[in-house]
Amino acid sequence: MSQRIGGLILAASLVLLAHAGLSAVEHVSFAKATHADPSLPIDVRVEVLVGLVASIVGVVLFAGNLKEVRMEKELSVRSFDVLGMTPSFRSVRHRGARIFNKD
């Protein structure tokens, strides 16, 4: 039930944010045409903040429950040595040594 409410809140907040964006674009183009102050009015700023907070609440409700991560499950399938290997820490500095070697 909360997932459906979260989806509705998220959809409404995205519509609210889109409307705030269109209002901001319209105000800036009007300000350029009339050489008025280009700062956004307070109602557009409030609309953005309400849309942002509502979208955060909607995403949290829509996401549902998180699953628990247990290391015992991974260790029963794989060894600890395999889990510790990360390819992002491999050294690749040796790859151009023969090409760029200055003798």
Please give the average per-residue pLDDT across 38-43, as a whole number: 91
> What are the CA-CA distances from residue 50 to residues 13, 44, 91 (Å)?
8, 10, 48
What letter would DSSP give residue 78?
S
C-alpha Rg value of the chain to the nearest Å? 26
CB 47 within 8 A of CB 20: yes
Q: What is the model's pLDDT at position 65?
A: 83
Tens of pLDDT, residue by residue over 41-55, are 999 999 999 999 999
Q: Which residues of 62-100 are buried (b: 16+ CB within 10 A; e: fewer)?
A: beeeeeeeeeeeeeeeeeeeeeeeeeeeeeeeeeeeeee
- pLDDT value for 27: 94
